A and B are shown apart, each in its own frame.
Chain A
């Protein structure tokens, strides 16, 4: 049995604004084992990014967040740590790659300075050592001529290279867990494939775990061991990758998979899910997907289904799950 690295229990992240409450993350539970890649899939606005930021306790204070539940990392509850203890977790134990490589690097500092800073934040070492470590970090993310690139500024390198530098910064202090939030969305297709391969290799080489946030099942298929499907701030289904693709039990997962373009009928009309996700300040009292679900019955509108394990490693939140075919 693999060792648990991260265990999120009943996490809630609410935002308060103008007397209203927005339930961005609503009773989310998940876990990540050592050496494992967990995918988190959902449409934009489903709370995927907020989930990543909640784990690092970096939800912007300006949004007036309220976070409850438990986030156990190697048995320690991150939500009860002091800000100082949390700082040694960030970058050192858990790190994150953000979506947009064009704006993720500080324009006024060299690449080297930004990587060195990430190293020195967690390790007392000399400037020379930090510099060679920074060069090494650049080499690891396959940047050519790292000895000269280390003194470049962000605006001097391409978008694809920038995203690799962001990776180098995130991995500089050898974290145990990396959260990658749509790391390839803004890259073109070739660069996407390269970057994913890089992440996969680095994950294996460092023996770390990865949470990959994406809206793309193609990426999931390629990268992940298990996957959690998010809808309107809740996880509706969690299962090993194979199960999700072959036996999705939640109606939302099935609909999402059906709306995904496939290679065998590239030009066909894609089925889409009718309706729109609910507003986070006005969530239905029953299952959040019920208003859009073709199978919904009266129970679905009345009460939120509890999380139930339907086979080993596979749980869903649905009153009337799809049959396993």
Chain B
């Protein structure tokens, strides 16, 4: 049953990825006439036909799409129109580690802070701690992160000189971008954990756990928390979406040399091949991450692992 669950998810993801590639391809065809870019003002209609043939633009759209997909699988995502016209794939691989590090640190921070905050809020329901946690969560969900990044930079770097304003290299460079990036997720995790924890603490199996004579800490952090994490995982997909958006704006604000900033630079320069490549790459990442979440989900909740009934 586990296997059919995974293969079903795989199928769904392949469809999503395929759809995204169609969107990217069609949008690419709309970016203006690539032939006109390559020809000089003195070219003849014969020249134009020749270039079209070379680029495969005289073929039906479906065949063009086929060729596009084949190239994507070969890792040929086109060349940047800027500078030394490096292949887009190369640019992505160069920038990806920095993005992965930042997102990984931010995700870790989100859970390390968000989960305990949600638990504490739920167990102190209606008290000051609960109020404070909910306030943090509310503000975290209401602040535009790119602005928050600029404000943190202004406060800690410009005014207090505690941290580097931007760039990449040392641990200190991680602090501001990671803090900015995790705030929204912390807020979301806190809210989710609190809401499901409040429900679950009234469950009969929590009563039974106490009847067994287990210490309250085990009741909360083992019995209640494991169940409370299930709804959190449900929303992991939207966390990833937020992290991708976050990557673009935060890497831009902090001059972080990742793929998010690559996307922003490409947008500024209208460098379509690079944008297209980054978007496809991020989509694949996003979809892959969602698959990992599904596996985690199955691991936490045995009802999914073995299929219901």
| Residue of A whose beta carbon sits closest to that of B126 | A62
- Shortest C-beta distance, B221 to chain A (Å), equals 13
Q: Enumerate chain B interface residues (CB-CB to A < 8 A).
A: 125, 202-205, 207-216, 223, 226-227, 230, 300-303, 306, 308-309
Q: Are A121 and B212 in contact (CB under 8 A)?
A: yes
Q: Report whether B300 and A108 are in contact in the complex, using a CB–CB cutoff of 8 Å.
A: yes
A197 within 8 A of partner (CB): no
Contacts A98-B204, A104-B204, A173-B213 supplied; 12 other A-B pairs, CB < 8 Å: A56-B211, A62-B202, A91-B212, A91-B214, A95-B212, A103-B205, A104-B208, A106-B227, A108-B301, A109-B226, A117-B209, A118-B212
Q: Which candidate, A82-90, A272-280, A312-320, is the interface stretch facing chain B?
A: A82-90
Whether, in the assembled complex, A156 has its beta carbon less than 8 Å from a beta carbon of chain B, the answer is yes
Shortest Cβ distance from B204 into chain A, in angstroms? 4
| Chain B residues within 8 Å of A173, by CB | 212-213
**B227 contacts A107, C-beta separation under 8 Å:** yes
A98→B208 contact, CB < 8 A: yes
With A153-B302, A153-B303, A155-B302 in contact, is A103–B204 under 8 Å at CB? yes
Q: Which 5 A-B pairs have the closest CB atoms?
A: A91-B213, A90-B213, A153-B302, A91-B212, A118-B212
Count CB-based A-B contacts (< 8 Å): 87
Q: Knowing A153-B302, A155-B303, A155-B309, say if A108 contacts B226 (CB, 8 Å).
A: yes
Q: 19 A-B contacts, Cβ less than 8 Å apart?
A: A56-B210, A58-B210, A87-B213, A87-B214, A88-B213, A90-B211, A91-B211, A91-B212, A95-B211, A98-B204, A106-B205, A108-B300, A108-B302, A118-B212, A153-B302, A155-B306, A155-B308, A166-B208, A172-B212
B205 touching A104, Cβ below 8 Å: yes
Docked Cα-Cα span, A122 to B214, in Å, equals 9
Give chain B residues whose Cβ lies under 8 Å from the Cβ of A172: 212
A169 in the interface (beta carbon within 8 A)? yes
Complex contacts, A91 vs chain B, CB 8 Å: 211-214
Interface centre among A83, A104, A110 (most CB of B within 10 A): A104
Residues of A at the B interface (CB closer than 8 Å) are 53, 56, 58, 60, 62, 83, 87-92, 95-96, 98-100, 103-110, 117-118, 121-122, 153, 155-156, 166, 169-170, 172-173
B residues near A100, Cβ cutoff 8 Å: 204
Q: Are A60 and B202 in contact (CB under 8 A)?
A: yes
Residues of A within 8 A of B208 (CB): 98, 104-106, 166, 169
- CB contacts (< 8 Å) of B215 on chain A: these are 87
CB distance from A282 to the nearest CB of B (A): 25
**A105 CA to B211 CA, complexed, in Å:** 12
Whether the pair A170, B211 counts as a contact (CB closer than 8 A) is: yes
Chain A residues lying within 8 Å of B309, measured Cβ to Cβ, are 155
Q: Which residues of A contact B230 (CB under 8 A)?
A: 108
Q: Which of B205, B223, B227 has the most CB of A within 10 A?
A: B205
Which residue of chain A has the shortest Cβ distance to B227 in the bound complex?
A: A108
If A98-B204, A155-B302, A155-B303 touch, whether A90 touches B212 (CB-CB below 8 Å) is yes
The CA of A173 and the CA of B211, in the complex, are separated in Å by 11
The 8 Å CB contact of B209, one of A95, A106, A110, is: A106
CA separation between A60 and B211, bound complex, in Å? 12
When chains A and B are docked, how far (Å) is the Cα of A289 from the Cα of B118? 46
Bound-complex Cα distance A107 to B308 (A)? 12
CA distance A173 to B214 in the complex (A): 12
CB distance from A18 to the nearest CB of B (A): 13
A106 vs B230: C-alpha distance when bound (angstroms): 13
Known: A91-B211, A91-B213. A107 touches B303 (CB 8 A): yes
Residues of chain A within 8 A (CB-CB) of B301 are 107-108
B303 to chain A: which residues have CB within 8 Å? 107, 153, 155
> Is B209 within 8 A of A107, CB to CB?
no
Collect the chain B residues with CB atoms within 8 Å of residue A99's CB: 204
Which residues from B are CB-within-8-Å of A90? Answer: 210-213
> In the bound complex, what is the Cα–Cα distance between A90 and B210 (angstroms)?
8
Specify which chain A residues have a CB less than 8 angstroms from the CB of B204 in the assembled complex.
98-100, 103-104
Say yes or no: B212 contacts A58, CB within 8 Å.
no
Measured between beta carbons, the chain B residues less than 8 angstroms from A58 are: 207, 210-211
Contacts of A60 in B (CB 8 A): 202
Q: Nearest Cβ distance between residue B228 and chain A, in whole angstroms?
A: 10
Q: Which of A106, A107, A117, A172 has the most CB of B within 10 A?
A: A106
Contacts of B306 in A (CB 8 A): 153, 155-156
User: With A and B bound together, what is the CA distance between A82 and B172 in angstroms?
Assistant: 47
- Residues on the A chain within 8 Å of B205, using CB: 103-107
Interface centre among B209, B215, B300 (most CB of A within 10 A): B209
CB distance from A12 to the nearest CB of B (A): 22
**Selected contact of A98 from candidates B125, B207, B227, CB within 8 Å:** B207
A108 to B202 Cα, complex, angstroms: 16
Give Cα A53–Cα B203 distance, bound, in whole angstroms. Answer: 14
Residues of A within 8 A of B300 (CB): 108
Whole-angstrom CA separation of A32 from B57 in the bound complex: 91
Query: In the complex, A67→B212 CA distance in Å?
Result: 21
